[in-house]
Amino acid sequence: MNNLADRIYDACDRHFDEIVAIRRRIHRNPEVGFEVHATAALAAEALDKLGIAVTSGTGGTGVVGDLAIPGAIKRIALRADMDALPIQEETGAPYKSRIDGRAHACGHDVHTAMLIGAARVLRECEDALTSNIRFIFQPSEEQLPGGAIGMISDHVLDGVDEIYGIHVWPTLPTGSFGLCPGAFMARSDSFTIEILGRGGHGAMPHFTTDPILIGSHFVTMLQSLISRKIDPLEPAAVSVTQFHGGTSFNVIPPSVTISGTVRTLQEPLRNFIREQMETMMAGIASAHGADYTFSYTDGYPVTFNHATCTDKARETALRLVDPQQVVFPHPPVLGGEDFSYYSEIVPACFLFLGAARHEEAEKGPFCHDPRFDVDERCIRYGMAMHAGLALEIYRRGTQCDG
């Protein structure tokens, strides 16, 4: 009898340096949206070399690998996203992006590399597998409408009984996992408001209907929406992230455009916030004699972790690391994830992988920061978690036939 967790880690350690090299290769050559051709080709080639059946072009540029186990009637899916962000990297790392205006500032390079690593581990541990395994490499998680919808339309969930996803998380130290049952990540909606006033000379504001002043009142009033109209114990955020208007220091513009995001975990609250925002805008515009347009765009749904899958992921984590390294329940977060579309269809769990050095946890740059990077030692634990979920070590104790 062999300890299966030790066997997983032995395989992870043998492949670690090569998987880090793959991560750095992807990091140096970031691709955004659905234009992840080189990254997808790398993933497809890695699976093909392992003798895993590969389907390319799923959902546009996604890659799917199927490891079939004779006699297995269950299929477990493991998902990684491949796309980068359209921002300029500022890490100064020796493997930093070679492409101006593009960077892997959210860790998807790590996600792709560690799923390739997990495929290697599972090939070595194939004798212990009792389920078929589907490896999903998805494009365009960062950009609406997201790549998951196309993957699902191309039948990536056909025959799948459970699906799991892992995201590096810089507020948790390397070697730890964060899991949350139920609503884990938020619905990520967006809004755009155009305020239509009357422009004129900056020295004669009484002849204008100043949209900058009106917009400023609206932005200020929005702050009271969360703090005074919503239960303080109810997670929600409304953030204005863009305010555009004007072309000259001495001209009051005829219009301004304001954009931002709304994050919620409950559908009734989301509907309430949307209604209140437009009510506020209508009142402010009317008071100043202006017009407006209000556009509200539905974002990714809430990422919901099913109880059974979350329990399995937690038990798997407890087989792989010490109990103090398993944060359960991790608080819900208001970031959005298109993994949510998978969790609407099949039982699912999305979890966080600690990616900060212990002294940097909660202090280093967060995801989407141009300075964001990970402690690459986290890759070992991400590979092990993917493999442990596929091997279902949670229900075997620590022993298996080897």
Catalytic residue at 83? yes
DSSP 199-262: -EETT-GGGSB-HHHHHHHHHHHHHHHHHHHS-TTS-EEEEEEEEE--SSTTEE-SEEEEEEEE
Contact at 8 Å (CB) between 124 and 10? no
Pick the catalytic residue from 81, 83, 109, 392: 83
In whole angstroms, give the CA distance from residue 391 to residue 386: 9
φ, ψ at 241 (rounded to 5°):
-115, -10
SS3 at position 354? strand
With b for 16 or more beta-carbon neighbours within 10 A and e for fewer, the 108-129 pattern comes to: bbbbbbbbbbbbbbbbbbeebb
Which of 37, 27, 178, 237 lies closest to 114, judged by CA? 27
Contact at 8 Å (CB) between 254 and 211? yes
Question: In the numeric block, which tokens belong to residue 310?
Answer: 């979350």
Catalytic residue at 18? no
φ, ψ at 172 (rounded to 5°):
-110, 140
Pick the catalytic residue from 31, 81, 109, 141: 141
Contact at 8 Å (CB) between 151 and 40? no
* Residues noted as catalytic: 83, 141
